[in-house]
Amino acid sequence: MSKLLFNKALSEHSIEDISSIEILSASSILFKQKEGCKCIEITQDSTSKKLNSNFYIGTDWLHKNEVAVYVAPKLNDNTQQTDYLKMLFSCLRHSDVANFVRDLYEIKFEEPFIEIEQKQDLLTPLLVVQFLQILKSVVKKGLKKSYYKVKQNLNAKIKGKVLVSQTLKHNLIKNKPTKTFCQYDEFGFNCIENRILKQTLVFVQKYLVFFPNYTKLVAPVINYCLPAFHEVDENIDLRTMKSIPHNSFYKEYKEALYIANLILKRFGYNINQIESLNNKTIKVPPFWIDMPKLFELYVLGLLKDKYFNKIQFQIQGTYGQPDFILVDNNEGMIIDTKYKHKYQQEQYQIEDIRQLSGYARDVKVLSRLGLKTEQQRDIVIDCLIIYPDQKAPDKLTDDLKEIAINGFTRFYKMAIKLPIISD
């Protein structure tokens, strides 16, 4: 039986002494194989061996099939756990944010699954919330119609292509000479894409029965989406998913079908696997969720709530990308999120000041802010750093410039409270 270690995503580095586990040696697990993005790192010297976790939550193998690690979404107070689902649900209310969610997590289906407690499954609820919000955008735009194949045993008529073998087997041998099995095309909502989406929606409904807290969160979305599929059959051969063509006019379908496939793949494409949720333990593929990225998207949702289309996300500068720019004739600003608890004690971190100062002098960024070439030398752009703090309000204050960073011109910071799970 494999051993499961526990850790918490508390700060830049949460450290646990694992000197007693001889099988482990110095190594690291990278998020999506990106250099410098370390989910977990094992360091070793002559006297000790330590497990270091960064701002990623999830579970993975430290030594395949023998030792795994689970990192929980904890805050500085050990009694509080970040409600990452509410954060995701909040930002996905804006349909354009869905385009960036795929970068939020990594799933390793090719690796052996890891046994964890049911309540520790961070992955499936995330996929469910993401799927439902994208599906809402699909329904809002309108389900697509297309041609789909129908097989039917017709009486006293022929339509489309005659299926000879089935006609012989089911009709002529059984003395039903007036009936003919045919295959023909029909045009309507019951196309393969809609059937996959409906089956996944039914799958999600059955999953949520076991989690009433999640149900309260997403019930309005389910009630909004389900009536749109009343003409759609939920029975589908999932092996056909790979051959589905994508229409650029229905771009939301591509993402919705991608997430639907992840959810169904998570349960082995078997809806009966939902029954295993009655057990205290389940098996999940190794996965990681990027909490700084989730915080960034959460703040993006809050900014869009307040400033709508005046907020632009991750524009490309001459060198690098600021998280956000606020394009306003009266209040142009460069905004960056820092998922660092150090800002609760410290006024600033100099590397962050330097980074935003660079953006404020970037010609491409200044052009996107509406400044002409002759204006760029004379105007100092406001810069804002947003960071998490559980003592702060849970929404943006009316004045983004309320707290100045001493020692720097037109630099400000603002704290945001993250939603937490009370129990």
Residue 10 has pLDDT above 50, yes or no: no
Q: Each residue of 57-113: pLDDT tens digit?
A: 999 999 999 999 999 887 555 557 888 888 999 998 888 888 889 899 999 999 999
Rounded to the nearest 10 degrees, the angle between the axes of helix 123-141 and helix 84-91 is: 20
Q: What is the pLDDT of residue 241?
A: 66
Structure tokens at 11: 């700060």
Strands 114-117 and 382-388: unpaired
CATH topology of domain 291-421: Trna Endonuclease; Chain: A, domain 1 (3.40.1350)
Residue 419 has pLDDT above 80, yes or no: yes
Lowest mean pLDDT among 66-70, 152-156, 270-274: 270-274
Residue 405 has pLDDT above 90, yes or no: yes
Give CA–CA dist 180/156, Å, rounded: 7
Q: Each residue of 279-323: pLDDT tens digit?
A: 678 889 999 999 999 999 999 999 999 999 999 999 999 989 999
In this prediction, residues 37-41 reach a mean pLDDT of 92
Return the H-helix or E-strand segment holding 137: helix 123-141
Residue ranges, CATH 3.40.1350, the chain: 291-421
Give CA–CA dist 51/377, Å, rounded: 48
* Mean pLDDT, all residues of the chain: 87
% the chain with pLDDT above 90: 52
Structure tokens at 240: 């056909």
Q: What is the pLDDT of residue 374?
A: 76
Strands 382-388 and 333-337: parallel
